[in-house]
Amino acid sequence: ENEDQVRAFLQRHPDMTQEPIHKPYGRPDFDQAGGLRIFPMDGGEGQFAARLRKAGDPEDRREPSREKTVRLTALEQAFLQDMQVSFPYYYREKTRLYGMNQPFLKGTWKRQGVFIGETVKTRFEPAHAFFMAADCARKAELDDAQLDAFLHGQELAYPMEKGYVQVTWHGQPMGFAKSTGKVLKNKLPKGLRLLAGSHVRLPEAGSVTDGTVTERKEHQEA
């Protein structure tokens, strides 16, 4: 994902040309060849983008073959009905179910669509990716203190209907949990949890923020 990769690719594929990217954000690539770099100071995460075009008439290109949508099992159907979420197309890779708004492409892919979950023996285990992408019917809205505890992997006292629940903060999905009726059993993947001693940093009352750094008001006055 950089200028060297694009340059090497164009040398191997003379039928490809690079075209400029016109966007109001980011900055030109280092080669000034029309690519786009989006650094953290530009509001990104260190991304690089290049637009390439293959020579020839687009009308001559064959439409890629598509997979037929699969039928849902009883376990998969029950879970999606419980969440009141549906996708126009589904694809199953062994025990893993994926959903997408367009037909799945045939072939070998790292991933297509949203990973909904996996059938394990006699139960369906939903995926974190599903709850980050879907708008589920059952939600648990957290306050700031509850969010901090949730991101540390802690259980939360939260009376609500039993079953899987989408965890949100200010309406934004943060992951999911399983309600016992009184407690939310944390299902946030361990690799996404905050380390011990670290905490969510939120703007405090009377603080001043420029969108990137939050400072206490008394520090600014000093």
The CATH number covering residue 155 comes to 2.30.130.60
User: CA of 152: how far to CAs of 28, 155, 183, 211, in Å?
Assistant: 39, 9, 16, 25
Same domain, 80 and 44: no
Domain count along the chain: 3
Same domain, yes or no, for 53 and 79?
no
Domain end, chosen from 88, 115, 132, is at 132
| Same domain, yes or no: 11 and 45 | yes
Q: Do 124 and 142 share a domain, yes or no? A: no
- CA atoms of 173 and 31, how far apart (whole Å): 39
**28 found inside a domain:** yes
69 found inside a domain: no
Is the alpha carbon torsion for 151, 155, 156, 158 positive or negative?
positive
Query: Are the beta carbons of 183 and 158 closer than 8 angstroms?
Result: yes
Q: Is residue 67 part of a domain?
A: no
pLDDT for the residue numbered 216:
38
- Which parts of the chain fold into alpha helices (H)? 3-12, 74-83, 128-133, 144-151, 217-221
Note whether residue 111 is domain-resident: yes
User: Does residue 219 fall inside a structural domain?
Assistant: no
pLDDT tens for the chain, 222 residues: list them: 799 899 999 999 999 999 999 888 899 998 888 899 988 888 888 899 999 998 887 666 678 899 999 999 999 999 999 999 999 999 999 999 999 999 999 988 888 999 999 999 999 999 999 999 999 999 999 999 999 999 999 999 999 999 999 999 999 999 999 999 999 999 999 999 999 889 887 666 554 444 443 443 333 343
The answer to whether the Cα torsion of 149, 153, 156, 159 is positive or negative is positive
C-alpha distances (whole Å) from 180 to each of 57, 87, 158 are 59, 28, 9
49 and 9 co-located in one domain: yes
Question: Do 45 and 27 lie in a common domain?
Answer: yes
Residue count of the chain: 222
Is residue 78 domain-shared with residue 103, that is, in the same domain? Answer: yes
Whether 18 and 52 map to the same domain: the answer is yes
Asked, for residue 23, whether it belongs to a domain, the answer is yes
- Does a structural domain hold residue 164? yes
User: Are 50 and 79 part of one and the same domain?
Assistant: no
**Contact assessment for residue 44 and residue 26, using Cβ atoms and an 8 Å cutoff:** yes
Q: Is residue 128 part of a domain?
A: yes
Lookup: tokens for 23: 């966007």
**Are 103 and 126 in a shared domain?**
yes
Predicted pLDDT of residue 23: 87
| 91 touches 69 (CB < 8 A) | yes
Host domain of residue 15: 3-59
